[in-house]
Amino acid sequence: MFRKAGIRLVLSLALIASVTAFVAASGGSASLNFVQPSPVPSHDAGKVVCNSPAAFALNERHYCLVLTTYSNLKKSGGVEVDLNLQNYDQSSLTNPTANLKWDNAGASLSFVSSDPSICSSSTAGQVDCTFPNLPGVGSASGPGVTPVSYPVKLFFAAAASNSSVSFTATANAKESGHDSGGAANVETQTVDQSLNPTDGVMTFGNDDTQDATFALPGSPQQELDAKLDPNAPSPLSVKFGAGSRPFLAQFRARQLQPTTAGTCFPGIACTGLQLETDLSAAPSGTFSTGNPIIWTADVNATNTNVVAVHYYDPVTITASATPKTFTTAGTGFANCNGVNFSSDPQAPGGGVATGQDYFVINATTNGTNTSFQVAATATGKALSFTASGPFSGSCIRVIGDQKSERTGPCTLTSPPQTPAQLPTLCAVKRTNTIVHVYVLDSANGKISY
C-alpha cells in the first residue's frame, strides 16, 4: 500500500460513534528517542582520557577506543554495544585488537554477530575483535583533529535478571618505532568504571509505558508491550518480524486527556489513546502482507464500529502552484483521506499551512506517481498555494471506514489472518465498554485512538 520509508507510527483508534474527543497531534509520526546511546572514550594506564588535551601532551600513542551502550532496552530481547577505534596519531595503528567483557551471571548475554564481521566469542562474558590497520592522520595530529575511525556494532541476545550490565572494553595497538627507541611496543586503552561508576554501564528499561529492543535477524516475531493501567487484562502491544539486519524498535503508549472537543481527523472523534511505534531503522522491504506489523489495544467503546486514523511517515511531495497540484512518488496517496505538512518547516503558503490536516481530493495516478489536490473539507474546492517546494508531507488514512479495510474473525487472544490487502482492522468486544482492536499494516506512520 503506502510507500515504505521506515516505520514511525502512532496508532489512534477512533470511534465512529460519538465519544469525548481530543485534539490530535498532526502531521507525520512521532520520533521516539527514549533508547539513548552513551558513548565513553577510553583512558590510558595513567587514567588520562584518550582525546583530552592532556593526552596529546604525553609521549604515547594517540588513539581511542569509544564504548557505546544503549539504555532502556527490554531485558529479554536484542542488545547492541558499539566499539569505535579512533586513530589520532601521526602514523598507522598496526594489528589493533579490542575485547569487550562483562559479568554474564545476571546479564545472560549471548553474542550473535558483529557488523562488520570482525568479532567473535569463545568465552562466556567476552567478545574479541580484530581490527584492520588504521592509517594515521599525518602532521595534523593533535587536539581537535578528526581521527581515522573504525566502528563496529556488536549484537547480543539477552535474557537478563539484573537491572544493568557493566561492560569493560580494552584496546591494544602495536606501532613500530613510535616511542621506544625504534622498537615495536604495545599500549593499552581501557573503558571501565574507574573514572566514573556509570561509564560502560547499560541500564535496562523499567518504565511500563514503553518498551524497546534490537530486532535480530532469524528471531521469531518480536513483541513490544506497554501498560497504562497495571490492572489491564492485556498489554498494549506491537508485533513485527525481524529484518535482514538488526534494527532498533521502540514502542510507547500514552493516554492524552481530552480538555476540549477535537478530532483525530475532521469528522473522526477519538478517545486519546496513542501507541507510538518507531521501526524506522528496519531494512527496506522488511514489512509486507507476508510480514505485517500488528498493533493490539483495548479501547473504551461500547461497540466494534471503530476505525483507525493513520498518519503515515512523511514523504517528499513536489508542487505546482498552477494548477494547484501536489505530486509524490508511488500510488499510496491515491488511497489517502488527507495530508499534513507539519514535518516540513516550509509551508506551501497561500491557503495551505503546516500543522493542519487537509483532505486529499482529485487524486490520480499513472502507476509511478500520484497527483492530488487539497481541500479544507471532503467536498470542498482545491486550495491554492504559493510556495514551490519540494515539501515533506504525511498521508492520513482512516482505516476501517470501508468494508474492504475490515477483516475477521479475531478473538481476544488471536489476531485475524492477514488478508491479501493491507491495511486492515479487526475488533472484538471484551466487555460492554471495552473493545479489543487489531490493526495490521505494512507501511509507516502515526495512528491515534
pLDDT in tens, 113-137: 999 999 999 999 999 999 999 999 9
What mean pLDDT comes out for the span 323-331? 93
d(CA 127, CA 116): 14
Task: Report DSSP state, residue 53.
Answer: H
Q: Say what the pLDDT of residue 25 is.
A: 30
> Is residue 262 predicted with pLDDT exceeding 80?
no
- DSSP per-residue string spanning 350-418: TTB-TT-EEEEEEEEE-SSEEEEEEESSTTPPPPP------EEEEEEEEESSSGGGB-----SS-PPPP
Q: Strand 293-300 and strand 236-240: pairing?
A: antiparallel
The Cα–Cα gap between 88 and 57 comes to 13
- Whose grid coordinates read 595503528? 93
No. of H helices and E strands in the chain? 1, 28
Q: What is the pLDDT of residue 370?
A: 96
Could you tell me where in the chain the CATH 2.60.40.290 domains are found?
37-203
Query: What percentage of the chain has pLDDT greater than the value 70?
Result: 87
Instruction: Look at residue 27 in the predicted model and tell me its pLDDT.
Output: 33
Asked if residue 160 lies in contact with residue 75, where contact means CB atoms within 8 angstroms, the answer is yes
Please provide the CATH number assigned to the domain covering 37-203: 2.60.40.290
Which pLDDT score is estimated for 410? 97
Q: Look at residue 445 in the predicted model and tell me its pLDDT.
A: 53
According to the model, what pLDDT value does residue 112 have?
A: 97
Cβ density class 198-218: b for 16+ within 10 Å, e for less: ebbbbbbbeeeebbbbbbbee
User: Higher-confidence residue: 47 or 184?
Assistant: 47
What is the SS3 assignment for 56? Answer: helix
> Quick check: helix, strand or coil at residue 24?
coil
pLDDT at 311: 83
DSSP output for 77-135 = EEEEEEEEEEE-SSSPBEEEEEEEEE--TTT-EEEEEEESS-EEEEETTEEEEEPPPB-
pLDDT digits (tens, 9 = 90+) for 359-415: 999 999 998 999 999 999 999 999 999 988 899 998 999 999 999 999 999 999 999
Decide if 441 contacts 10 (C-beta within 8 A).
no
Region 195-214 average pLDDT: 97
Per-residue pLDDT, averaged over 420-441, amounts to 95
Checking if the pLDDT of 428 tops 60, the result is yes
Q: How far apart are the first and last CA of the chain?
A: 21
Q: What is the pLDDT of residue 86?
A: 96
Q: Are 97 and 128 in contact (CB under 8 A)?
A: yes
Is residue 12 very low, low, confident or very high in pLDDT (cuts 50, 70, 90)? low
What predicted TM-score, i.e. pTM, was given to this entire model? 0.86
Give the three-class secondary structure for 445. coil
Residue at 399: amino acid letter: I
pLDDT of residue 61: 84
Distance, CA of 171 to CA of 302 (rounded, Å): 62
pLDDT band at 196; cut points 50, 70, 90: very high
Residue 299 grid coordinates: 479501547
- At residue 31, the pLDDT reads 66
Tell which residue, 127, 85, 82, has the closest CA to residue 104: 127
Residue type for position 162? N
314-318-321 Cα angle (round to 5): 130
- What is the predicted pLDDT for the residue at 188? 93
- Report whether 386 contacts 410 (CB < 8 A): no
Q: Cα(346)–Cα(374) distance, rounded to whole angstroms?
A: 17
Please report which helix (H) or strand (E) contains residue 23, including its range. Answer: none
The region that residue 227 occupies, defined by phi over 0 for left and psi between -120 and 50 for alpha, beta otherwise, is beta
pLDDT in tens, 147-182: 999 999 999 999 999 999 999 999 998 755 444 444
> Would the pLDDT of 259 be above 70?
no
Distance CA(413)–CA(442), nearest Å, equals: 21
pLDDT at 446 over 90: no
Residue 147 CA to residue 64 CA, distance in Å, equals 9
Q: Which tens digits make up the pLDDT trace of 61-82?
A: 889 999 999 999 999 999 999 9
Instruction: Name the grid cell of 420.
Output: 491479501
Mean pLDDT in residue range 200-211: 96
The answer to whether residue 194 scores a pLDDT higher than 80 is: yes
**What pLDDT score was predicted for residue 30?**
44
Please compute the mean of the pLDDT values over residues 308-332 and round it to a whole number. 89
Which of 79, 130, 82 lies closest to 104, judged by CA?
A: 79
What value does the mean pLDDT take over residues 92-112?
Answer: 94
Q: Residue 181: what pLDDT?
A: 44
Q: What is the pLDDT of residue 29?
A: 43
Cα 83–149–60 angle (5° rounding)?
Answer: 90
221 burial class (0-12, 13-18, 19+ CB within 10 angstroms)?
exposed
Q: Which residues contact 315 (CB under 8 A, 6 or more apart)?
A: 3, 5, 328, 329, 332, 392, 393, 394, 395
Name beta bridge partners: 296.
237, 438
2 has a pLDDT exceeding 50: no
pLDDT value, residue 135: 94
Residue type, 297: A
What is the number of other CB atoms lying within 10 angstroms of the CB of residue 28? 27
Q: How far apart are CA 122 and CA 140, in angstroms?
A: 39
pLDDT at position 5: 33
- Mean pLDDT of the residues in the chain: 86
42-65 burial: b if 16+ Cβ within 10 Å, else e: bbbeeebbbbeeebbeeebbbbbb
Q: What is the pLDDT of residues 272-284, one digit of tens each?
A: 788 888 888 899 8
